[in-house]
Chain A
């Protein structure tokens, strides 16, 4: 209750993620974050164009030929127009990393919990704007897919999916992105939440393909503060890769500088990969309040129209 009460006070008193994530229910956490987001948000950041197909109708002269169904015309030699719902303005697909590396977290906050809460809050936010939201988890493959829809109870379905414990496998982001491209045939806002610790050379191609498919792809990189500075690891020990099981003897004091250098190299490679795919990347530390993180995301870059996207991509 204290977390909720604190969240309702507005942006100036953001909730510590550790205290927030102590709330077991994901929906409650999302609601608490959303309260803070609303307090700092003045208007919708999204200007969407999404339309939902509903029915066919006979062509009448003067109708916009853009909506003529050419396939039906070719098969039946009849002229039909496709009708669309215009209630929603955004189609959003939230892709959450459920690999084992996301289970890492200093103290009580894991990257996975942080990312799920962030995505749940975002999903709720979009849903309240009558945007259609879908979600999926990925590690080696994409699983637990909830396609974007607009219907009653869909958001609970999304929350239920996000609440599932990760299966615990290594990350194959390239395969996940390729599968996502197959799942999202229509132009969507695709938000990828991951730690992006794997080498970008393995998945940058798939990311380019996804972006080239017309999707507005956003990358949210969630990192633990300990991963950034290699702090609070104490004495030398045998370190085990949580995904591969590989172990090696590491003295944090000795390895810190080299790690920082390599991490910076990795970050540079990520920047290159995301820039090349025209994907905006935001870095979130798990000690950053979630409402601030979400606001930062919402204010980062408006959703681009397709043409602008194409124009940007071609430029």
Chain B
């Protein structure tokens, strides 16, 4: 037995209290007044001792109460389950979580983990139930409760072995919190269909690398009587060197370079080398470059990109005995570009017209990179966005319509009534007419911030359009049945900005001219972001990264569009997959018409060499029950001695029983004291002035 707060044993000193109280009480209660003590001599203390033992059992009872309370406050607990303890009468509902993250690919871990699961199955009785989960890129249920109960008890171990033999450690992260949430739901399912009073046991078999996702555990509402057992496995070789992707960099010479972090643990080999390889053929592209790194150190390096910018390469760190995090599959996606056509004929340096401001707006963009051309129809063939400020001739209009129908965006500014006809023809909706608002000085009164044109201004910080005046506004009276949607209206409710779908492309109509004489729009702070969001849409959507980690590949996807993946790096996959990739490599991602090359990497958190301490588990509120090995190792690990006793004591809560014992003793003592006082009152002799 051990004590969590042994300093409370100092409370045993309070046992002296009842003893002194007994003596004092003898002196105070048995008091005799006498006429004169002049002739009396004090009696020797020998008689004090004799008087003390008159009710020794009552004194002992009181001392026992103090001792029990002091012992209870010391928070006792048993470190070991008593030998020969009977098996629990209640059934066990065990959910085992097998970590199959990338860090489990280290040498010896996977076999050890499977062995732990097999051993666990050996401890289960016939009425116990088991659910086996794996935590990797996602949480999989390898053995369901129904499968377990359907199998004969003699076949269950074989079922588990068969399932485990078909599994290998993955390349993904360690979503422990998601796995625990799944375990909780499985317990609920088992409780509905089986013994509700069963013991809930969660066994996590993992290397418990510090990079595991555990933040969600803090919000878990653990059922009562839940016990979490942490079965940790350790690799045969603790040393590891890793390679982490940080981003792209453009050194001073303008050449592309990859910024990576190289980390070497204390036990990792000293001879490390970097080398570029072809991601598709795995052939070396560059010579091996030696890496000199002190044990336990890490450094950031800029590694020049050796091939074409559009190539897909692998940066490999060789020499490490744990190679799972030594390869970076990289593909460089050039920034988006958008070709903007301008139909208006205005001079580029004439600040009285919109072109002057459009050119200055797009010149600073890094994503997408925009180019403004004014030669129609020369540029119409490749333009993603065409801005029309004056009526084009019929040929140009036809070219423009064809381009929009093919997928380009067209922005028509209603600088004159004639432009309404152009817009109507581009929209392929006859019957559009121009109306002028009641007031010459108009403002945007209603803005649809859910519309893609104005979604960037939805934040109240940017949603003020009342300072932008329009002096020559024009609005379009749409015919009934028009497909156009109104993105903004003037104060009188007439449409100010409308958008309609034309074929594969879109037509945006702005109710007025952008020249400073006609409105303050191009001078406002909202003009550039509005035009940029329109250009991004015209270029195919907002910029998306081309590199992501396994488990985080959603960053590569455009929202709402089904994605298909095909592995390009070795081993090259022949077919498309609709599920997110679970292995690192170069993939072809297809979403609608968009098809691009992306790279998927091993999560960098999997390279964390440190393990999750028991302190962390305790802080997360996980009711951990230590295994025998952990108890033995508790003296060697810093965090274990402090955390394990607290967890054990919290599970056993012997202090509650001691408190009840103290209460019972207190009641007994009260009854005894009352009986003694009563008997004294009855038997007391009439003594002078007592």
| Residues of A near any B CB (own CB < 8 A) | 101-107, 111, 195, 197-199, 224, 226-227, 232-244, 246-251, 254-255, 258-259, 262-263, 266
Contacts and interface: CB of A to CB of B under 8 A. Distances in A.
Interface stretch (B28-36, B349-357, B375-383, B402-410): B28-36
A249 B27 contact: yes
A243 B43 contact: no
B37 A246 contact: yes
B525 interface: no
B689 A104 contact: yes
Contacts of B684: 234
Nearest to A265: B39
A281 to B, nearest CB: 18
19 contacts: A101-B36, A102-B35, A195-B35, A198-B36, A198-B38, A226-B688, A232-B686, A237-B27, A238-B30, A240-B37, A241-B35, A241-B37, A242-B36, A248-B40, A251-B47, A254-B44, A259-B39, A259-B40, A262-B39
Contacts of A240: 31-34, 37
B51 A236 contact: yes
Interface in B8-55: 26-28, 30-45, 47-48, 51
B247 to A, nearest CB: 89
Given A226-B688, A235-B30, A249 B35 contact: no
A104 B689 CA distance: 7
Which of A107, A111, A254 has the largest count of B CB atoms less than 10 A from its CB?
Answer: A254
B593 interface: no
Given A240-B32, A240-B33, 8 more contacts: A104-B34, A105-B688, A106-B686, A238-B31, A239-B37, A241-B33, A250-B43, A259-B39
B35 A242 contact: yes
A106 B31 contact: no
B687 interface: yes
A251 to B, nearest CB: 4
Contact of B36 (A232, A235, A241, A249): A241
Could you say which interface size class chain B belongs to?
A: 20 to 34
Nearest to A226: B688
A251 B41 CA distance: 9
Contact of A249 (B33, B48, B686, B687): B48
A217 to B, nearest CB: 23
Contact of B37 (A105, A233, A236, A248): A248
B32 A237 contact: yes
Given A197-B35, A238-B32, A254 B43 contact: yes
A232 B42 CA distance: 18
B687 A232 contact: yes
B619 interface: no
Pairs A-B, 10 closest by C-beta atoms: A237-B30, A104-B35, A251-B43, A101-B35, A248-B42, A106-B688, A241-B37, A197-B36, A262-B39, A238-B27
A289 to B, nearest CB: 20
Nearest to B688: A106
A234 B685 contact: yes
A260 B344 CA distance: 139
Residues of B contacting A: mostly? loop
Which of B28, B37, B42 has the largest count of A CB atoms less than 10 A from its CB?
Answer: B37
Contact of A232 (B28, B51, B688): B688
A240 to B, nearest CB: 5
Given A224-B688, A236-B51, A250 B33 contact: no
Which of A103, A242, A244 has the largest count of B CB atoms less than 10 A from its CB?
Answer: A242
A258 B45 CA distance: 16
B35 A255 contact: no
A138 B318 CA distance: 116
Which of A198, A199, A241, A259 has the largest count of B CB atoms less than 10 A from its CB?
Answer: A241
B633 to A, nearest CB: 61
A236 B36 contact: no
Contacts of A262: 39-41
Contacts of B688: 104-107, 224, 226, 232-233
Contacts of A249: 27, 42-43, 45, 47-48
A224 B51 CA distance: 28
A13 B35 CA distance: 31
Which of B30, B36, B38, B42 has the largest count of A CB atoms less than 10 A from its CB?
Answer: B36
A107 B254 CA distance: 120
Contacts of B690: 237
B628 to A, nearest CB: 60
A224 B30 contact: no
Contacts of B685: 232, 234
Contacts of B41: 255, 258-259, 262
Interface in B142-181: none
Contacts of A255: 40-41, 43
Nearest to A199: B38
A266 B33 contact: no
B33 A236 contact: no
Contacts of B38: 197-199, 241
Interface in B588-611: none
Contacts of B39: 197, 259, 262-263, 266
Contacts of A102: 35
Which of B33, B45, B684, B686 has the largest count of A CB atoms less than 10 A from its CB?
Answer: B33
A232 B688 CA distance: 8
B38 to A, nearest CB: 7
A241 B39 CA distance: 11
Contacts of B36: 101, 197-198, 241-243
Contacts of B42: 248-250
A242 B36 CA distance: 7
Given A233-B688, A248-B40, A227 B51 contact: no
A242 B33 contact: yes
Contacts of B43: 236, 249-251, 254-255
A107 B685 CA distance: 11
Given A239-B40, A255-B43, A259-B40, A107 B31 contact: no
Nearest to A263: B39
A254 B28 CA distance: 20
A234 B684 CA distance: 9
Interface in B673-690: 684-690
